[in-house]
């Protein structure tokens, strides 16, 4: 099955700096890569996703890059703010045996702390 590795497990940055979180996946058939943010005591929420037909996607201060050849994808947050402090999870899709329904395999998460 799919295996997703996420690094680093913790990341501390100063406000205004950039933060980068990296993930690798094992299943070359994976074609959907979302990123979820979970604030303390809250539920995970999607912040950005990318599909295998593009190499990069941006949404204001957040961007995701995908390298299908190397099977890795990264989350980039620029001009970090204290409210960016949270746990971030990457995920990769994989299909069931019939190839018609998809599940997500999540990385173990990165605790990002933005210091004022």
Partner 1 sequence: DVKVTQSSRYLVKRTGEKVFLECVQDMDHENMFWYRQDPGLGLRLIYFSYDVKMKEKGDIPEGYSVSREKKERFSLILESASTNQTSMYLCASNIKSLDTQYFGPGTRLTVL
Could you list the residues that contact partner 1 (CB under 8 A)?
1, 6, 9, 31-32, 34, 43-46, 49, 51, 89, 91, 93, 96, 100-109
- Fill in the DSSP letter of residue 69: T
- The span from the CA of 70 to the CA of 84, in Å, is 28
- For partner 1, the closer CB: 17 or 102: 102
What's the min distance (Å) between Cβ of 16 and partner 1?
28
62 closest CA partner among 44, 45, 75:
75
What's the min distance (Å) between Cβ of 75 and partner 1?
15
Tokens 């173990």 correspond to what residue?
A: 108
- For partner 1, the closer CB: 44 or 74: 44
Length of the chain, please?
Answer: 116
What's the min distance (Å) between Cβ of 7 and partner 1?
13
Give phi and psi for 105, each to the nearest 5. -110, 125
- For partner 1, the closer CB: 44 or 86: 44
């Amino acid at each position: 099955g799919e295996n997703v590795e996420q690094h680093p497990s913790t990341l501390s940055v100063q406000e205004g700096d950039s933060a980068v979180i990296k993930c690798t996946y094992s299943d070359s058939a994976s074609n959907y890569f979302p990123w979820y943010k979970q604030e303390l005591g809250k539920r995970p929420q999607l912040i950005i996703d990318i599909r295998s037909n593009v190499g990069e996607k941006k949404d204001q201060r957040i961007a995701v890059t995908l390298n299908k050849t190397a099977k890795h994808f990264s989350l980039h947050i620029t001009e970090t703010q204290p409210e960016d402090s949270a746990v971030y999870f990457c995920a990769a899709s994989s299909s069931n045996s019939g190839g018609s329904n998809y599940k997500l395999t999540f990385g173990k998460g990165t605790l990002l702390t933005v210091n004022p």
